[in-house]
Every structure is written in structure tokens, then in C-alpha cells.
């Protein structure tokens, strides 16, 4: 079958037919400021991206989805005077939601994960971003924040707040830098204070002491205090060899200096006495040498920053004219729904259960899978190999992911 431009397969024709039925039965609700948004589309049967589209009424969007059946539906994070204008200058930018995007590309080790494992890892990171930074440090409320499962491998966070809609790209980039810890400095986390050191023959030199983030610290200093406790519990009892193997930030350090650092922390003053003193007095002067102290600070700074930073796609957040997936439309590479939810709904959300559209029924469909597949969809396990019969919802998922073909 063709549309005059591109020949499509039997599988694609099947997917288009069911996407159309979905939009007939369950059209997406219009987003806020609907008439000020630009829309964009990618298709199963066309090679181009269609954008600079605007709709005056929600039923116009529904009619477009039913007649054109796009594989992917996007709308602008920005609001415009003339959203359908063909150039960005002509559109007349009025403001934009603050958008955060996180998918499997930003997760360490994702290339070795299965699809369900990737989804779980990304969900964990988006919850960290929300709780620690957006609703934590930055103080956005639940009314201003919507979480969106992308339908693919990640999540978006939409912040609709008058305090951020007018922010330009460089200001949004500063928010990303804060979340990722880009501009953190050792001297800010562990402030240095000069003091006089009397030495031989009345010679006085100036030394530097370091202060540890106090118990009432907030934001990044609080993270460093919490992270220090976790790291100290991890390294207690480990050998120098084990520590070097586990922590890249210490691999180039001399063995004797790591031993001295461990001795000051755990042994010299009695088991974990040094650690207790560290937290009780908010000081880093438990160390017998500046080199051991500075190695410890370097270790804390690099490891904790890496662990505690939020993961976000910087270009998405800083782009004030971004097109982002429209909630409650279908993702053409999975057949899953782009689901919008509140923060408190995220905890129990399972994309492979909750993002499978109700419009895709349990009717049996015969397929041939390309490889052995073992996956749970709608809480039902599918262990598949060769020619199989599966419910429609599973068939569309597998066909969209090109993991199966229809039987001939």
C-alpha cells in the first residue's frame, strides 16, 4: 500500500489502522493555551516532518489525527501570537513552559539493560530530579508540575509557572547547571579558613583549615553531608586495593596516602571515632596531614557530585521553542500512550501496564517474532519464540518495535 509517496508494509498498514481507531475512540485532550501552541507531526508513510501547524479548536486536532494518523505528535513548549507562521520570527514568542527531558541515553549502563530495566532506571532518576531539585531546592509545587511518560524510553517534566515562562535560554541553562552541579566548587562546599601555624625558631606560616557542611545545611551542601555518611559506611573496612577498584577518583592516588586517610578516619582515634568527630564538630581537621585531608575532599567532591546530581538533557531545557510529545497521543515506535500524571501518581506507574491503551483489546493476533522474547505487558508474561498468538495490545507493541511481523 502507498499514499503516493512511500510504500508501506502490511505491518505498518495494520498499525495505522489501529492508531486511527484509537484516535476515533479516545482523542487526546487539548493542552493548556491550546490556540497559542505550534504542532508538529511525523508519519508512518511519509518521509518529512510537518510543523508550523496550529488549531483553533480541539476537534480540528482530532480530525487531523484521524485523517492523517501520525506516528508521533508534538506540540510547542512555547506560546506564540501566530503559532502557524512559517518562520520563528513571525510567530511572536510570548513565553514557554520549562521542560526537562530524561531518557535512557542519560543512564549509565543503559546499553546493557532490557527495555523494562531501562524504564525502571529512568523512572528512578526522574523521581530524584523531582524530589531533590524541582520540588525540593527550586520549590515548585505540585500544581505547577506535570510528569509525562514519553511513550518510549523516558519521561518529561513540564513546569507551568509564571515565574519561569519568560525565562530565556541562558537562564534555563543556569537551572540545568545547578541541577547537574556544573558550577560547584570545592571551596564553596568545604570552605577554607586561614590560621597561623607557629613553626621552628618563631617562624609563623599561614595554614588553611577546611570546614565540613554543618547539620543544618541545605541544597547541595546537605547532599554532600548525606553523601559523606554513605561513602564512609561504604569504605569502612575496605582494603586500599578494593577502594581503588571501586572508586575511580582514588585510582591515581598513592597507596600510602590512601592508607593514611583511612587511618585518620577509622583507626587512629579508635574505630570510626574520626568519622564521628567529623560530623560532631563540622571540621576536617581530624587528618594528620594536609595531603590526606585534601585527598579525602577530592574523593568526596567527585564521588558525591556524580551520585547526587540530577540527570537532564540540557538542550531540551534551554530550548525555548522546543517541540515536545503531546500527552495522550501514541508513540509510533512502541504503540504506548504518552501519559501525563501528577507526582504522586508516578510511584505506582508502570509503563508496560499503564501506558498500554485500553482501545487495544485482547483480540488474538498471529505473529512471527524475530527473536526469543520474554516480557510482561499488562501484568501478563509473554515468553515468545517463532510463530505465536498474542493479544492485540501485545501485537501492536511488538510490531511498532519491529520485533515481529504478521503471519502471511
Choosing from 101, 264, 294, 319, the catalytic residue is 101
Contacts with 371 (C-beta within 8 Å, 6 or more apart), sequence order: 403
- How many Å apart are CA 85 and CA 83, to the nearest integer? 6
**Which one from 97, 103, 264, 319 is the annotated catalytic residue?**
103
The neighbouring-strand residues paired with 103 are 154
Phi, psi of 159 (to 5 degrees): -110, 115
CB 235 within 8 A of CB 263: no
Catalytic residue list contains 313: yes
As a dihedral over the C-alpha atoms of residue 124, residue 128, residue 134, residue 136, rounded to 10 degrees, the angle is 140
Question: Is 344 marked active-site?
Answer: no
∠ Cα 349 351 353 (to 5°): 85
CA 395, CA 386: separation in Å to the nearest integer? 14
| C-alpha 308 chain-centroid distance | 13
385 belongs to the catalytic site: no
> DSSP characters for 151-219?
SSSEEEEEE--TTTTT--HHHHHHHHHHHHTTT--HHHHS-EEEEEEE-GGG-EEEEEEEBPPPTT--H
Backbone φ, ψ for residue 209 (5° rounding) = -100, 155
Query: CB neighbours of 86 closer than 8 A, spacing ≥ 6?
Result: 52
| 27 vs 151: CA distance, rounded Å | 16
Distant-in-sequence, close-in-space partners of 193: CB < 8 Å, separation ≥ 6: 208, 209, 210, 211
Residue of 82, 85, 40 lying closest to 61 (CA atoms) = 40
Catalytic residue among 45, 97, 294, 313: 313
What three-state secondary structure class fits 120? helix
Positions annotated as catalytic residues are 101, 103, 313
Amino acid at each position: 500500500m502507498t499514499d503516493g509517496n512511500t510504500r508501506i508494509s502490511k505491518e505498518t498498514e495494520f498499525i495505522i489502522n489501529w492508531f486511527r481507531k484509537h484516535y476515533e475512540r479516545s482523542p487526546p485532550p487539548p493542552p493548556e493555551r491550546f490556540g497559542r501552541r505550534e504542532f508538529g507531526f511525523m508519519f508512518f508513510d511519509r518521509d518529512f516532518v510537518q510543523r508550523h501547524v496550529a488549531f483553533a479548536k480541539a476537534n480540528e486536532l482530532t480530525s487531523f489525527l484521524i485523517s492523517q494518523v501520525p506516528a508521533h505528535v508534538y506540540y510547542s513548549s512555547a506560546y506564540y501570537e501566530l503559532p502557524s507562521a512559517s518562520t520563528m520570527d513571525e510567530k511572536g514568542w510570548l513565553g514557554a513552559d520549562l521542560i526537562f527531558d530524561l531518557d535512557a541515553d542519560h543512564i549509565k549502563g543503559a546499553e546493557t539493560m532490557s527495555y523494562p530495566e531501562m524504564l525502571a532506571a529512568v523512572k528512578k532518576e526522574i523521581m530524584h530530579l523531582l524530589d531533590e531539585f524541582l520540588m525540593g531546592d527550586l520549590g515548585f509545587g505540585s500544581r505547577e508540575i506535570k510528569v509525562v511518560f514519553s511513550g518510549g524510553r523516558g519521561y518529561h517534566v513540564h513546569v507551568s509557572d509564571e515565574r519561569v515562562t519568560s525565562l530565556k535560554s541562558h537562564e534555563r541553562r543556569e537551572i540545568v547547571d545547578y541541577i547537574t552541579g556544573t558550577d560547584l566548587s570545592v571551596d564553596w562546599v568545604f570552605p577554607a579558613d586561614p590560621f597561623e601555624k607557629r613553626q621552628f625558631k618563631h617562624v609563623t606560616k599561614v595554614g588553611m583549615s577546611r570546614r565540613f557542611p554543618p547539620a543544618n545545611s541545605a541544597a547541595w551542601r546537605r547532599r554532600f553531608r548525606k553523601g559523606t555518611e554513605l561513602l564512609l559506611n561504604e569504605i569502612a573496612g575496605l582494603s586500599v586495593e578494593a577502594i581503588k577498584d571501586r572508586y575511580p577518583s582514588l585510582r591515581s592516588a598513592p597507596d600510602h596516602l590512601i592508607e593514611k586517610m583511612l587511618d585518620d578516619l577509622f583507626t587512629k582515634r579508635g574505630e570510626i571515632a574520626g568519622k564521628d568527630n567529623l560530623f560532631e564538630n563540622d571540621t576536617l581537621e581530624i587528618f594528620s596531614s594536609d595531603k590526606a585531608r585534601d585527598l579525602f575532599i577530592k574523593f568526596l567532591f567527585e564521588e558525591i557530585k556524580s551520585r547526587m546530581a540530577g540527570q537532564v538533557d540540557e538542550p531540551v531545557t534551554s530550548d525555548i521553542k522546543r517541540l515536545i510529545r503531546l500527552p495522550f497521543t501514541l508513540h509510533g515506535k512502541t504503540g504506548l500512550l504518552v501519559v501525563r500524571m501528577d507526582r504522586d501518581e508516578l510511584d505506582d506507574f508502570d509503563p508496560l501496564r499503564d501506558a498500554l491503551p485500553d482501545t487495544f483489546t485482547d483480540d488474538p493476533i498471529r505473529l512471527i517474532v524475530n527473536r526469543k522474547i520474554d516480557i510482561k505487558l499488562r501484568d501478563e508474561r509473554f515468553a515468545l519464540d517463532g510463530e505465536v498468538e498474542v493479544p492485540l495490545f501485545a501485537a501492536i507493541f511488538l510490531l511498532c518495535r519491529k520485533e515481529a511481523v504478521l503471519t502471511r
